[in-house]
Amino acid sequence: MGNPYLEMRGVSKRFPGVQALTSVSFEAYAGEAVALIGANGAGKSTLMNVLGGNLQSDEGEILIGGQAVSINSPLAATANGIAFVHQEMAMLPTMTVAENIHISSFPTRAGFIDRKAMEASTAEVLTRLGCHFTPDTRIQVLSTGDRQMVEIARALLSKPSIIIFDEPTSSLTSREKARLFDVIRTLKTEGVTIIYITHFLDEIFNICERATVLRGGSTVGGGLLSELTTADIVHMMIGDVGLDTRSAKHSTQQREVVLKVTGLNRRGVIKDISFSLHKGEVLGLWGLLGSGRTEVARAIIGLDPIDDGQIEINTGSGLHPIRPREAQRWIGMVTEDRRNEGLLLPMSVKQNMSIANLRGLLSRWKLIDNRRETELATHFVNRLNIIISSLGQPVKTLSGGNQQKVVVGRWLELNPPIFIMDEPTRGLDVGAKAEIRRIIFELAESGAAVLVISSEIEEMMALGERYLVMNRGQIVNELPGTSTKNELMGAAAGAAQME
């Protein structure tokens, strides 16, 4: 195998109050893809930001091709042949592909942009990536997958020998994903070293040769993927899941059905989705990313159109069929994308909590009753244990966990009988995750029906009383709440292997 092309030795990084990395070691060989895996907060991003020159480590050294290098800025990283494909794409929609790729340093002649040179070098990279759009195409008309290609093209422009992909598939369809993987394979044959950050295990067995697993800022394991199983990696990622974290599982047999979905279809996205959700139940919708979990939730509450299917909700007098758009009257939706879908960031905590319930707050004179607004907000801030300095505090200044609780609080004011929680704890720290889970239990105990979507198996196991396993837009299995971690992983992974 020879010597690794890239070595990071004993890298430590401390942020105020947190030891983000503790003597982490990482190595990668030329022409190979290394998966960097870990749960949220494991230190993946910190480590890669050190490599990309965005952060300086407190201790440790970096060797490239056996030579110690100092990477103290993103520019130095580029000079050392390191390119970063960020998770969040930086696209300028009204500009062309060529302009987007060259934006930070245009080729110029006598002060004017050398359009020919710019388009030629763009065309070259696009051909290499197997893209079929031209350099003068505007970004506006490109699909997400093609935009991802533009992002990669931008990284390739500096002819890097190491490319870091940070969660590149999070917004791609399965077809776009396949294309991305083809590109990565091509890059590997050209001798480029790939570092692939993800927490989706199906992808790494597909595309990577080696894995390094981080947990709590330390390297906890890794090795050749040909010698590892999914279960090994899951075990390294999350450690031993104690059985005590599991909730008491109730039988759902006798409880009444509050949401019944029959034969929900959206062509190319979800197929023949049927299930029932009971009062007081926490139902886990489990599957790998891209299996259609979020799409089911969006279809039920009318965010995406459906081709056919029926949604029935118990509105108090038995099940009644409703149109998806109406579903929002009975279903509270909490998503991972707090900032875009739920919260009005500059507005205060109080205003955010009351915004969906203003009609319920009107006084006799049809004006908003300030006192009741404050009372209700105070009540739910206390009940949800939201940490704020005052009710007037702008939501944007809150931590992720507290923001998420504000979203939940808003729904609690309306008191819907059904909740859909799509990755409700994504991006939150461990303490906040536990709080959100506690709230989900309380909701269920008080009689609400909760449908939970999560990519974290630990969370799924802690919450679910019953699981629906999804793959490629279909529900392929139903598992009881007593299922073990391996059974759950097996159901999702096994389903994935059928592809």
Q: Quote the strand ranges of 216-326, DSSP E.
A: 218-224, 257-266, 270-278, 282-286, 308-314, 319-322
Examine residue 345 and tell whether it contacts other proteins (CB under 8 A): no
* CB-nearer residue toward other proteins: 113 or 241: 113
Q: How far is the CB of 325 from other proteins (least distance, A)?
A: 20
Q: Which stretch binds other proteins (CB under 8 A): 4-12, 104-112, 372-380, 390-398?
A: 104-112
Contact present, 472 and 292 (Cβ < 8 Å) = yes
Between 174 and 363, CB nearer to other proteins: 174
**The binder of other proteins chosen from 1, 112, 366, 498 (CB under 8 A):** 112
* Interface with other proteins: number of residues (CB under 8 A): 33
Computed over its alpha carbons, how large is the radius of gyration of the chain? 25
Q: Please choose, out of 38-46, 105-113, 276-284, 314-322, the segment that lies near other proteins by the rule CB under 8 A.
A: 105-113
Shorter beta-carbon distance to other proteins: residue 38 or 290: 290
CA 357/CA 412 separation, integer angstroms: 10
Contact region for other proteins (CB under 8 A) — 86-94, 208-216, 217-225, 380-388?
86-94
The first and second tokens of residue 300, run together, are 């039920």
For residue 242, the Cα-to-chain-centroid distance in whole angstroms is: 25
Our finding on whether 95 is near other proteins (CB under 8 A) is yes
Nearest CA to 289 out of 457, 403, 148 is that of 457
**Angle at CA 468, nearest 5°, toward 466 and 472?**
165
Cα separation, 62 vs 332, in Å, equals 48
Query: Does residue 151 bind other proteins (CB under 8 A)?
Result: no
Smallest distance, other proteins to C-beta of residue 115, A: 8
Site string for other proteins, 157-186 (x = CB under 8 A): ------------------xx-x--------
| 184/193 Cα distance (integer angstroms) | 10
Under rule CB under 8 A, residue 29 binds other proteins: no
Among 24-32, 99-107, 297-305, 419-427, the segment contacting other proteins (CB under 8 A): 99-107
Pick between residue 153 and residue 449 the one whose CB is nearest to other proteins. 153
Burial annotation 9-36 (CB, 10 A radius, 16+ → b, else e) = eebbbeeeeeebbbebebbbbbebbbbb
Work out the number of other CB atoms within 10 angstroms of the CB of residue 88: 10
- From the list 99, 413, 422, 456, which residue makes contact with other proteins (rule: CB under 8 A)? 99
**153 part of the interface to other proteins, by CB under 8 A:** no
- Interface of this chain with other proteins, residues 121 to 150, rule: CB under 8 A: 130-133, 137, 140-146
Query: Residue 34 and residue 26: Cα distance in Å, rounded?
Result: 10
Q: On the CB side of 331, how many CA atoms lie within 13 Å of its CA?
A: 31
Q: Which of 274, 353, 342, 284 lies closest to 308, judged by CA?
A: 274
Centre a 10 Å sphere on the Cβ of residue 106 and count the other Cβ atoms it contains. Answer: 14
Q: Which is nearer to other proteins, 175 or 249 (CB)?
A: 175
* Contact pattern from residue 228 through residue 267 relative to other proteins, giving x for each residue in contact according to CB under 8 A and a dash for the rest: ----------------------------------------
In sign, the C-alpha dihedral spanning 351, 355, 358, 360 is negative
Q: Binding residues for other proteins, per CB under 8 A?
A: 74, 86, 90-95, 99, 103-106, 108, 111-113, 115, 130-133, 137, 140-146, 175-176, 178
